[in-house]
Structure formats: structure tokens, C-alpha cells
Structure 1
Amino acid sequence: MKKRTSITLDPEILRLAKKVAREKHTTVSRLIELLLRSETASAKRGIVASMVGTASLRVSLRGTDPLYDALLAKRFGGCPSAGFVPIIHS
């Protein structure tokens, strides 16, 4: 059974909490509950386990990312030789 409680928040934090709750189609109470459950669950699993599945890779296309182009030129002379073929997603 859930219990009712009161918390004191900075007005800006309350505004932000209401905005996030609206975007997630939930209540501020449920949002706080989910955040606390998530925090305690990740602490129990350990730091590495909590990071699994949270990263995302960006896809770089030649000519669209200066860092990608510089690294490609430095490591492979700018061409996909020496067994290196970049994966190009369209």
C-alpha cells in the first residue's frame, strides 16, 4: 500500500518535474518513484551492469564529420585500404 508524503522542492525543480512528467504521460509522484527505483537498482547491479545498454554509437559518413575524416586520413591515408572498409549507412 502506498503512503502519502510531502516534499519541499525548489520552484524551478518542481516546474521541471511537472514538465518531464507531462512528457512521459505520468505524475510527478510516479516520476520520483521511477527515478528512485532506477537509482537503487543500478547501485545493486554495480556500475558496469548499469551502463550496459545505455550507450549509443553515432554513424559517421565520409565528408560529414571532420573528426572522422581526420582520423580516417591519419590512420588509413584517407582511403579504405589495408583491409579497412568503413561501414556506410544510408
Structure 2
Amino acid sequence: MKSRVTITLDPEVVRKAKAVARARRTNLSALVEDLLRQTTEHAAPPRPRFSRKWAGKLELRESDGQDELLEALKQRYGLGHE
């Protein structure tokens, strides 16, 4: 059983869509249904959330309190010598 749906479109879009439907010897409803079916069949599957994608794949390292990159940047830009 089909469902009735109301959509709001720009009048120019409706005019062009009706012309396309006429050229394909179908009606506007069938044209829209076909386009929606094609779009939903070829749609990419939803991407997993970032947290689920990376859960359990990263681990924290023990730190000795030294951050070599931070220290190099401080030295390069003359910071931390106050």
C-alpha cells in the first residue's frame, strides 16, 4: 500500500519535473518515487561514530613527566625561562 506524502517545492522545479515525467511517459509521483528509490539504494552506509570506531584501539603510555616535543618548542620559541 502506498503512502501519501506532501512536499513543498519551488514552482520552477515542479514545472521542470512535470516536463521530465511527461517525456518519460510517467507521472510526477512515479518520477519522484523512482528518484528516491535510486538515491536510497545507492546511499553510503552511515559512518560509525568516532568514539566507536576508535574504542579500544588507542592506549595511554606511562609518562615520566617529560614531553620532548613541548620542551623543544619551548626552547625554540624562548618560553619557560622566566
Relative to the length of structure 1, the TM-score reads: 0.46
SS in structure 2 at match of 1:26: coil
Gaps of 5+ in 1: 46-90
2:38 aligned with 1:38: yes
Cα RMSD (Å): 1.5
Aligned counterpart, 1:3 = 3
Q: Distance in 2 between matches of 1:5 and 1:37?
A: 15
Q: Distance in 2 between matches of 1:41 and 1:5?
A: 20
SS in structure 1 at match of 2:3: coil
Aligned counterpart, 1:23 = 23
Q: Which residue identity does 2:33 align to in structure 1?
A: E
Aligned counterpart, 1:56 = none
Q: Which residue identity does 2:12 align to in structure 1?
A: E
Structure with the greater alpha carbon radius of gyration: 2
Relative to the length of structure 2, the TM-score reads: 0.50
Q: Distance in 2 between matches of 1:5 and 1:40?
A: 17
Gaps of 5+ in 2: 46-82
Q: What aligned pairs does 1:27-66 form with structure 2 within 5 A after superposition? A: 27-43=27-43
Which stretches of structure 1, 4 residues or more, deviate above 6 A after TM superposition?
none
Q: Distance in 2 between matches of 1:37 and 1:19?
A: 20
1:44 shift after superposition: 5.2
